[in-house]
Amino acid sequence: MSDALVPLVEMRNIRVSFGGVVAVDDVSVSLRAGEVVGLVGGNGAGKSTLIRVLSGAHQADGGVILINGEMVLISNPRDAKAHGIEAIYQTLALADNTDAAANLFLGRELTTRLGSLDDAGMEAAARKVLGRLNPKFKNFKDPVNKLSGGQRQSVAIARAVQFNARILIMDEPTAALGPAETAQVRELVTQLKAEGIGIFMISHDIHDVFDLSDRISVMHQGELVATVNKDDVTKDEVLAMIIMGGRSVVQ
Amino acid sequence: MTDTASNEEVSGTTQVDKRNVRRSAALLGLDSRLLGMIVALGAMWVAFNFFSDGLFLTSRNLWNLSVQSSAVAILATGMVLVIVSRNIDLSVGSIAVFVAMFMGLMQAEWIPDRYGLGRSWTWVVVLVAGIALGGLIGALHGFIVAYVKVPSFIVTLGGLLVWRAFAFQLADGRTIAPLDTKFQLIGGGPKGSLGETKSWLVATLACTVIVVGLVIGRRRRRRHGFQLRPTWTEAVVGTLGCSAVLGAVWVANSYMWPPGLAKDYAEEHGITEPPGGLRIPTGIAIPVLIAVGVAVFMTYLATRRRFGRYVYSIGGNPEAAELAGINTRFVVMKTFIVMGMLAALGAAVISARLNAATVGLGTGLELQVIAAAVIGGTSLAGGIGIIPGAMLGAVVMQSLSSGMVLMKVPTATQDIVVGVLLVTAVAFDSILTRRRA
């Protein structure tokens, strides 16, 4: 039999509906430590909604979440972060009018003994972590809306890795990036995998998915079509599942 | 190596003019917009002095200007936070009149009926109760905005109608006057000012705080290994700051008590009047001290506390703030609570100065406050705004009014000028921002 290792994350029978529309219908996915699971599907497949349940941005109407085999309750983003879950959203979720350090520590600011913001301390930490990720990053004082797309991405990624996440969610991480920056993201993912971090990666780029994932979960109109090992399928088969859903699955 | 160095030098010098202003402003620790406003204010004062035949830049006029700006300035600091978090509060004038009526009745009727007039603690109880009431009203507005999710424009528009009506009902439309003698001091006037010695004390304290602040800031940056500003810039900032404070207090101390009051004082204290009358310096007016204190506190709250950081983050990207785990609804509610409390404080200052609570108090106050905040650089789109700017905006608007009064400009024309200025100031700022980006 395969290993008895408990998965890092298990989402079982998750159900999310918005009014009368069922966005996620009885979906179960899992993630092991040091693994990348690609979550793919067409528009409206429910991938982002599913992942927002894990990151605490949305509450599921049914189903459970287990972390290291234990059932947990994630009712808001703070709960998720407390369990070591960090997310990099498609929109990056940066506060445009504040600088890189402020965004890095948003919601988790460092304070001095008097309870006031330790801006210098946060800037120092920001320089350290961003310096590792992106040595060319220099604009620590400008509000982030003045930064380029790649630099903003660096800030969003830095925010996710800064707080020792065990589970990382990346929603379309390379969608807005050029080839050089995409390569950087790929390197980062490899590095994080080696450190034992589990990554859920949503992507519509089938090549990225195949390059980086170990397993692929395909969703179609709110349902899970199948979860396959990357080595067992071809890109065309996965594309077929994305487009045609359950009718294409060959067991 | 040498080639790249010289290249950088060359490209640097060609951009000198454009970036110099911004860099010198940044060195001084000021927003360049703020610096521009200070310069514009100075120019306005000089112009008005010329057109009013030297009446504008007198210690009397400047002292009055400071007192008249204080209420709007106090409220404007709170309005900045409300607007930055993508809301608006149209009800502040009505909150002010309601709380003023409440405070008036409390000190003129309710407390005297039970405990008699002239108690030493009346003003404290009244002020605290008033601010608490303002906070409660703000909490109600804030709750409906943040948790019931009704747009703030609507909620506070309702408040604008309701609270003024309640104020009318509270006292049956009467004017409550006179107010408690100690409470009156909050409004300024010769007795409601610090006098010479205390004013110089405050000035010394302020200078010490400025210098200590610079030293601490520098030490903190050194501890983290950041690039330090050259010592001479720190010295310039310190000198400019202290000169401004000392200059302002000097002006306040140059304004003497009216001769009649000075004579009464001399008689009361058995002082023989020198030829030409006893000259008693007025010093910093209490409402001005309150306004400055509020501004310092609110700036600290906005820039150095998590609450302020959250307000700006919500303004910049509400979804990002939510996803970061910030309790955005509570933060928004708190901005309205603070606004309500400041409106109450402003009401105290206004009614104390009038020595009365009238149903007309604070009419149009909300628009003045919003205008002050906006002229001071707060964007109605949210996310951008500075509190010192709002204070300056209040002074700019009041200077304009005072100057036009001294020039004997008719009231209707005054309104036209203020309206045109407001639109021009924001348009100018918006064009500059777009060109800079």
pLDDT digits (tens, 9 = 90+) for B214-226: 888 888 888 877 7
**pLDDT confidence of residue B356:** 93
Helix (H, G, I), strand (E, B) or coil at B120: coil
Q: Which of A187, A175, A211, A207 is nearest to A89 (CA)?
A: A175
- How many other β-carbons are positioned within 10 Å of the β-carbon of residue A51? 23
Q: Percent of chain A having pLDDT more than 70?
A: 96
Name every chain B residue with its beta carbon within 8 A of the beta carbon of A78.
325
Decide if pLDDT at B1 tops 50: no
Q: Mean pLDDT in chain B? A: 88
**pLDDT confidence of residue B19:** 53
**Cβ–Cβ contact A76 with B under 8 A:** yes
Backbone angles phi, psi at B171, to 5 degrees: -120, 15
pLDDT, mean of residues B402-423: 89
Among B228, B303, B317, B326, the strongest candidate for a mutation testing the A interface, having the largest count of A CBs within 10 A, is B317
Q: CA-to-CA distance for A14 and A22, rounded, in angstroms?
A: 11
Banded pLDDT at B265 (limits 50, 70, 90): confident
Cα A139 from chain centroid (whole Å): 25
**Cβ–Cβ contact A55 with B under 8 A:** yes
Residue of chain A with shortest Cα separation from B84: A97
Q: Do A98 and B225 touch (CB under 8 A)?
A: no
Among A97, A103, A112, A127, the strongest candidate for a mutation testing the B interface, having the largest count of B CBs within 10 A, is A97
**Encoding tokens for residue B62?**
């400047």
Banded pLDDT at A248 (limits 50, 70, 90): low
Q: Which of B223, B305, B321 sits opposite A95 (nearest CB)?
A: B321
Q: Do A117 and B306 touch (CB under 8 A)?
A: yes
Residues A144-189: pLDDT tens digits? 988 888 888 889 989 988 888 899 999 988 877 788 778 888 888 8
Q: Nearest-5° angle of CA B322, CA B369, CA B244?
A: 100
Residue of chain B with shortest Cα separation from A88: B323
**Cβ–Cβ contact A94 with B under 8 A:** yes
Q: Do B320 and A121 touch (CB under 8 A)?
A: no
**pLDDT confidence of residue B342:** 97
Sheet holding A70-72, edge to edge: A21-31, A9-18, A62-67, A70-72
Name every chain A residue with its beta carbon within 8 A of the beta carbon of B312.
95, 97-98
pLDDT, mean of residues B250-256: 90
ipTM above 0.85, yes or no: yes
**Encoding tokens for residue A35?**
């693994």
Better pLDDT: B195 or B276:
B195
Q: Which of A55, A78, A98 sits opposite B312 (nearest CB)?
A: A98
Name every chain B residue with its beta carbon within 8 A of the beta carbon of A93.
317, 319-320, 323-324
Q: Which of A60, A48, A130, A125 is nearest to A90 (CA)?
A: A48
Residues A32-54: pLDDT tens digits? 999 999 999 988 888 989 999 99
Decide if pLDDT at B394 tops 90: yes
Q: Which of B225, B309, B321 sits opposite A109 (nearest CB)?
A: B309
**pLDDT confidence of residue B3:** 42
Decide if pLDDT at B12 tops 60: no
**Encoding tokens for residue B61?**
């006029």
Residue B297's alpha-carbon distances to B134, B205, B388, in angstroms, are 18, 16, 11
**pLDDT confidence of residue B437:** 57
Distinct helix (H) and strand (E) counts, chain A: 8, 10
Q: Do A97 and B300 touch (CB under 8 A)?
A: no
Decide if pLDDT at B23 tops 70: no
Q: Do B325 and A81 touch (CB under 8 A)?
A: yes
Name every chain A residue with its beta carbon within 8 A of the beta carbon of B319.
91, 93
Identity at A22, one-letter amino acid code: V
Banded pLDDT at B53 (limits 50, 70, 90): confident
**pLDDT confidence of residue B20:** 54
Decide if pLDDT at B15 tops 80: no
Residues B118-154: pLDDT tens digits? 788 889 999 999 999 999 999 999 999 999 999 999 9
Quick one: B244 exposed, middle or buried, by C-beta within 10 A (0-12, 13-18, 19+)? Answer: middle
Classify each residue of A162-181 as buried b or exposed e, where b means 16 or more C-beta atoms within 10 Å of its C-beta. beebbbbbbbbbbeebeeeb
**pLDDT confidence of residue B141:** 98
**pLDDT confidence of residue B2:** 42
Q: Which of B288, B278, B291, B277 is nearest to B252 (CA)?
A: B288
Residue of chain A with shortest Cα separation from B382: A97
Q: Do A76 and B225 touch (CB under 8 A)?
A: no
Q: Which of A58, A14, A120 is nearest to B221 (CA)?
A: A120
Name every chain A residue with its beta carbon within 8 A of the beta carbon of B313.
95, 97-98, 102, 106
pTM of the model: 0.88
Give yes or no for a contact between A241 and A225, defined as CB atoms under 8 angstroms apart.
yes
- How many other β-carbons are positioned within 10 Å of the β-carbon of residue A12? 15
How many CB pairs (< 8 A) connect A and B?
Answer: 81
Q: Which of B69, B75, B72 is nearest to B134 (CA)?
A: B75
Residues B187-200: pLDDT tens digits? 988 888 988 889 99
Q: Do A95 and B313 touch (CB under 8 A)?
A: yes
**pLDDT confidence of residue B13:** 43
What single string gives the DSSP state of each residue in B155-173? HHHHHHHHHHHHHHHHTTT
Cα A198 from chain centroid (whole Å): 10
Residues B145-203: pLDDT tens digits? 999 999 999 999 999 999 999 999 999 999 998 898 889 999 988 888 988 889 999 99
Decide if pLDDT at A69 tops 80: yes
**pLDDT confidence of residue B280:** 87
Decide if pLDDT at A4 tops 70: no
